[in-house]
Amino acid sequence: MSEFDQGLSQNDSDLNNEDHNFTELQIVELHVPCWRCGHHWVAGTEWCRHCQAKLTKQSSQRNEEQFILLNGRMHPLFVGLAFSAAMFTISMFMRLLSETPYFQNGDEVAGMVFMGIWEVMDFLLVLASVLYIGADKTCSLMKFSKTTCFGWAALLLLPLIMLINYAYHGIVAEWIGWDVLDFGYVDYHNYFWIILILYCVQPAIVEEVFFRGVMGYCFETVTSPRVSIVLMAILFSLAHVADPISMPYFFFIGLYLGLLRYLSGGLMVPILAHFLHNGAVTWIEILQQ
Amino acid sequence: MNMENMTNEDEELGSLAQEVRKKSLGQAKGIMIFIGVITLGANVFVGAMSESLVRTEIDKEVKIIQNSGQEVDMEYVEEIVSASTRQLQLISALFTALGVAFIVMGFAIYKAPVGITIAALILYLGGQAITAFLDPTMIIRGVLIKIIIVVLLVKSVSAAIAYQNEAQVKSIV
């Protein structure tokens, strides 16, 4: 038996003998990462379950110091916030670009190429965040079979959400004096399939994977699902800075989609809800044309 | 005997560490209330003065156009003034709500320390970015204070997580 194995069995016996009461309790993981390996500590133990590092006063202090940068890897919370900041920056940059005379007076194709570039940048950013956090954490949520009946039931609230959408934007349009939902240069009839992908399919998948999947995981490492829903909604509304007047509504729908994420136990229902929401808005635009 | 001393020492150090975290949260509370009051005050002022602010800016533009020899449709100008004033009032109302949210979060920080400190950090950075987006000169104004506020908020997030973990351990043990 190697020294390391002897150490392991010694630690196990220490745990079993000295913390006898604890072994009878349910194992509770803390949100404090081990200073050596980064795995979470178990409440009531002095040893890391993964690498057997001892939690001393010094290492406990070190845990807090190394919270932001842990063993050369950032804490998931700060990784998530950094990716959100990048998405926010892209959104602001593209909004500024869209206000240049070229895109204001440009043709439909130029407008759609612009939208396409924006969507591709978002997609690549979200893909990077999924790979950095760990693809398994998001992929495990992408199963219809795991969806609960509460999730499907909550989907029935979508018409009410749509009603709130049009009521809010109607009141704002009345107050300001211009149509805030006017998308301008888009010809829905000639470019239906491209618009379906750019406005409905891509945002539904990419935004849900990022805000409800990646960010949901990042927030869950430090806080409860309820607080996570609110934080995800705040980030979701900030990411839509390109449309500042609609940000309160984006916060509201962010709460609804976050609720769907936790009620359904996965990402498939929020993706479906997001797709149906954007699809309904696009369909109403087509009818108006 | 030795073990007992060690345990007492641990507990004392633990409560000391918790006191330090509480102090950091108290600091965050002060910052949030400060940001909230400043945001609230500034935006109530802008909301109240919105028409004169918009009119001053549009009058400048009109004078430039008139000086270049072009005619200006004053009826259309009045329409623009009215729409821009309402838009400014709406944005001021949103930022006023943000100010109120900061004050409420400041007072409620001990109820949900982690969530509130993260929300404060996100909202502060988001609010600053939107302000910079609306007026790029705002990036430079008070940049040092902004950096200090962000650093203190990041530290308070870390303190809040440690504070919550310690509280969890105490409730389990």
Indicate if the pLDDT at residue A186 is higher than 80. Answer: no
Banded model confidence at residue A48, pLDDT cuts 50, 70, 90: low
Q: Do B112 and A28 touch (CB under 8 A)?
A: no
Report percent pLDDT > 70 for chain B: 86
Q: How far apart are CA A99 and CA B78, in angstroms?
A: 24
- The secondary structure of chain B, three-state, reads CHHHHHHHHHHHHHHHHHHHHHHHHHHHHHHHHHHHHHHHHHHHHHHHCHHHHHHHHHHHHHHHHHHCCCCCCHHHHHHHHHHHHHHHHHHHHHHHHHHHHHHHHHHCCCCCHHHHHHHHHHHHHHHHHHHHHHCHHHHCCCHHHHHHHHHHHHHHHHHHHHHHHHHHHHHHC
ipTM given for this complex: 0.77
Task: Please tell me if residue A235 touches chain B, with a CB cutoff of 8 Å.
Answer: yes
Q: Give residue B167's pLDDT.
A: 73
Q: Do B122 and A247 touch (CB under 8 A)?
A: no
Interface of B with A in 18-77 (CB under 8 A): none
DSSP structure class, residue A208? I
Considering only CB atoms, which chain A residues are within 8 Å of B168? Answer: 28, 30, 43
Q: Do A92 and B173 touch (CB under 8 A)?
A: no
Q: Which of A96, A172, A231 is the closest to B122 by Cβ?
A: A231
Q: What is the pTM of this model?
A: 0.75
Q: How far apart are CA A84 and CA B53, in angstroms?
A: 34
Distance from CA of B55 to the nearest CA of A (A): 16
**Which residue would you say has higher pLDDT here, A146 or B119?**
B119
Task: Please tell me if residue B161 touches chain A, with a CB cutoff of 8 Å.
Answer: yes
**Which residue would you say has higher pLDDT here, B1 or A273?**
A273
Task: Please tell me if residue B126 touches chain A, with a CB cutoff of 8 Å.
Answer: yes
Q: Give residue A272's pLDDT.
A: 93
C-beta separation of A121 from A90 below 8 A: yes
Task: Please tell me if residue B154 touches chain A, with a CB cutoff of 8 Å.
Answer: yes
Indicate if the pLDDT at residue B103 is higher than 90. Answer: yes
Mutate to test the interface with B, among A64, A70, A91, A246 (most CBs of B within 10 A): A64
Query: Which range (A155-164, A270-279, B130-139) has the least confidence?
Result: B130-139
pLDDT mean over A1-5: 45
Environment class of A91 (CB within 10 Å of its CB; exposed 0-12, middle 13-18, buried 19+) = buried
Banded model confidence at residue B166, pLDDT cuts 50, 70, 90: confident
Task: Please tell me if residue A225 touches chain B, with a CB cutoff of 8 Å.
Answer: no
Banded model confidence at residue A41, pLDDT cuts 50, 70, 90: low
Q: How far apart are CA B37 and CA B96, in angstroms?
A: 9
Banded model confidence at residue A47, pLDDT cuts 50, 70, 90: low
Q: Give residue A13's pLDDT.
A: 47
Q: Give residue A286's pLDDT.
A: 81
pLDDT mean over B145-157: 86
Give the closest residue to B18 by CA, choosing from B160, B157, B153: B160
Q: φ, ψ for residue B87 (rounded to 5)?
A: -65, -45
User: Which residues, listed in sequence order, are joined to residue A73 by a DSSP beta bridge?
Assistant: A70
Q: Give residue A30's pLDDT.
A: 55
Banded model confidence at residue B1, pLDDT cuts 50, 70, 90: very low
Give the closest residue to B82 by CA, choosing from A177, A100, A212: A177
Considering only CB atoms, which chain B residues are within 8 Å of A67? Answer: 158, 161-162
pLDDT mean over A62-77: 55
Distance from CA of A115 to the nearest CA of B (A): 20
Q: Give residue B82's pLDDT.
A: 86
pLDDT mean over A190-214: 88
Q: Residue A115: CB partners within 8 Å, gap ≥ 6?
A: A198
Write the pLDDT tens digit of every residue in A244-276.
Answer: 788 899 999 999 999 999 888 888 899 999 999
